[in-house]
Amino acid sequence: MGASAKNKQAALNDQMFAATEAQLAKYNEEQVIQRELLEKQKEKYRGFQFKNPYGAMQNQFAGMQNQFTGMQNQYAGMENVFEDATVNMQAAQFQAQQGQQQRSNIMSGLRGAAGGSGIAGLAQAMANQGQLQAQQISAGIGQQESQNKMMAGQAAMQLQQMERQGASAVDIMQRRGASAVDIAVRQGAGQADMAQRGGAAMVQSAEMQRQSTLLGIEYGGMAGANAGVQAAYGNQMAAFGASANMIGSQMAMTGAMYGAAGSAIGGMSDRRLKKNINKIGESSSGLNIYSFEFKNSKYGEGLFQGVMSDEIPQEAVGTRDGYDIVDYSMLDVEFKQI
């Protein structure tokens, strides 16, 4: 390869590497900016305080009162209406007065008829009748008194039953009320506890998600940085590859110069490999044309026409095994066997 071609290739390689370096520098600069923004967001997220929304929840049934506490027995203190029942004495008195009047009338009517001797017997009979009537009146009063006592006793028993039933009903209602209050308080306490536990679990879950998010951000940032650097390095490797491909192409082109005589690519054209060199003319561009033989038959046998590599533009000159080769497609001279 000539010096001019080498210089062009070097300049192209320098441009490719400069472009990849600029790309890497720009990516690193953008990465620094993004990391600063990310750190600010992470700091806000890291400092956010998660609170249990149910942490201060109170038992809504705490302090609930038994609505039946203080309930009074509606039958307590009732009075026996028959307790002060009295005997009706007016009827007995009227009966006694009536009997006495009848006896007095009878005595007045019979006094004249009976005479003095019969009046005493009649008086005795009337007295006996009055006594009998008094006993009857007394029996009637006793019957009333007995009936009054019986009615008072029945009323007292009814009052006692009603009072006991009322006391029992009050006790049952108070017990039911106490039970309902106890159940409500327990349920309220359970609900408040479950809500507080649920809120605590929510806070814990949010905290774990925050840690996971921050860790994911760290890994993501690291992966992004690595990907960017790898992309930049990949571009550099691509530049190396392109340069290598170009060099390979040039080497392949140079290798093709070892083709058979008569092709556009000449073989070994180094003056040191030739003998019996004679100038036979000039090309239209002024290049000297020679006839020559190769010292070593492996490069060809017989007489050949061509140029000397040290007399032509170096863009058309390559090297192999330390000797010059010529790309005749770049010259106005034909390499051939004559």
Range of the domain at 142: 1-256
- Split into its structural domains, the chain has a count of 2
What is the per-residue pLDDT for 221?
64
Is the same domain home to 237 and 263?
Answer: no
- 251 & 263 share domain: no
pTM value? Answer: 0.31
Are residues 296 and 187 part of one domain?
no
* Domain-ending residue, one of 209, 239, 256: 256
Same domain, yes or no: 240 and 273: no
Whole-number Å distance between alpha carbons of 224 and 230: 10
pLDDT at 262: 36
pLDDT along the chain (338 residues), means of 10: 55 75 85 88 82 83 84 78 68 72 69 59 70 76 85 86 87 89 88 86 84 72 64 64 55 45 57 96 96 93 95 93 93 94
Residues 220 and 328 in one domain: no
Cβ neighbours for 154, distance < 8 A, ≥ 6 positions apart: 82
pLDDT at 290: 97
Residue 285 burial (10 A CB sphere; 0-12, 13-18, 19+): exposed
80 with 219, same domain? Answer: yes
Strand 274-282, strand 317-320: pairing: unpaired
- pLDDT on residue 249: 52
Amino acid in position 212 = S
Last residue of a domain, one of 236, 256, 276: 256
Q: Are residues 182 and 264 in the same domain?
A: no
Q: pLDDT value at position 259?
A: 44
- Name 40's Cβ contacts closer than 8 Å, sequence gap at least 6: none
Phi (first) and psi of residue 258, to 5 degrees: -90, 20
Domain boundary among 229, 256, 283: 256
Domain identity same for 318 and 191: no
Of 222, 229, 221, 227, nearest to 25 by C-alpha is 229
E strands along the chain, which residues? 274-282, 288-294, 304-306, 317-320, 323-326, 336-337
Q: Are residues 138 and 220 in the same domain?
A: yes
Round to whole Å and give the CA distance between 232 and 50.
41
252 shares its domain with 328: no
Q: Are residues 285 and 192 in the same domain?
A: no
298/284 Cα distance (integer angstroms)? 31
Give me the pLDDT at residue 225, please: 62
Q: Do residues 6 and 97 share a domain?
A: yes
Half-sphere exposure (CA, 13 Å, Cβ side) for 1? 15
pLDDT at position 255, please? Answer: 47
